Amino acid sequence: MKLGVNIDHVATLRQARYVGDIDAHNVEPEVLRAATICERAGASGITVHLRADRRHIQDADVYRLRQQIGTKLNLEMGNTQEILEIALHVKPDDVCLVPENRREVTTEGGLEVAGQLDALRPTVLRLREAGVRVSMFIEPSREQITASHALGAEMVELHTGAFANSQGEAQLAELARLRDAAIFANSLGLQVNAGHGINYTNIALIRELPNIVELNIGHSIVARALFTGLEQAVRDMLSAMRQP
């Protein structure tokens, strides 16, 4: 499994103090510096979510990351015309289409692809025509996987939130759902990624899933970085992912 590090919450910390010009001389922490540290520690990519409400990542962050990081840029975005136009101009390596609700603290579930085919199809087509690989952030459901495949997405990212928020037998049941979804998506030729709520403890179960190419992990890594430093936090996660 490869590791994409989501650095949204580095920007969350910045935005807690600074608004307006994020290039001012005293603005910190620097999102680009966080990205380069993650790359140095072994991350295979950098993930950011440019939200319509701009609560953390700003437009300038996305442009700067595209120009200066050495790995790949994975841009998470809602299906809005404004963000689509930015994505088409920036041309990240990957775009992951996610649901977005202004009242949510964080993404609360997977995208309802099956019920929004007509709305999503033009966005997927334009991104693919621009040479951007498209992923759908979905619940581990065969219905959503089939719909994502029908749209022409190259990838799905399985939402692991229900797994992360459960315990005991309930968690094992969610793990079984993820396993079935990963096998089914792979059988359709889709790249399978996963993310949301994965931490240094539950990674022991996640790493046993078949066909997962990439994990996108943010909050847990940034939280540990407060105590260990960001580079060590990334290295610790990579180590946890690779343990037998």
Q: Read off the pLDDT of residues 54-113 as tens digits, 9 standing for 90 and up.
A: 999 999 999 999 999 999 999 999 999 999 999 999 999 999 999 987 665 555 689 999
Structure confidence at residue 104 (pLDDT): 53
Structure confidence at residue 21 (pLDDT): 72
Average pLDDT over residues 126-147: 98
Structure confidence at residue 187 (pLDDT): 98
Domains for the chain: give ranges and CATH numbers.
2-242 (3.20.20.70)
Structure confidence at residue 25 (pLDDT): 73
Structure confidence at residue 214 (pLDDT): 98
**Taking a C-beta distance cutoff of 8 angstroms, is the pair 58, 20 a contact?**
no
pLDDT in tens, 97-128: 999 876 655 556 899 999 999 999 999 999 99
| Catalytic sites, residue numbers | 49, 76, 196
Percent residues over pLDDT 90 in the chain:
91
Q: Residue 69 phi/psi, 5° resolution?
A: -75, 155
Structure confidence at residue 106 (pLDDT): 58
Rounded distance, CA 116 to CA 36, Å? 36
- Residue 85 host element (H or E): helix 81-90
- Give the pTM: 0.94
Average pLDDT, the chain: 95
Residue carrying structure tokens 């700003």: 58
Average pLDDT over residues 22-33: 86
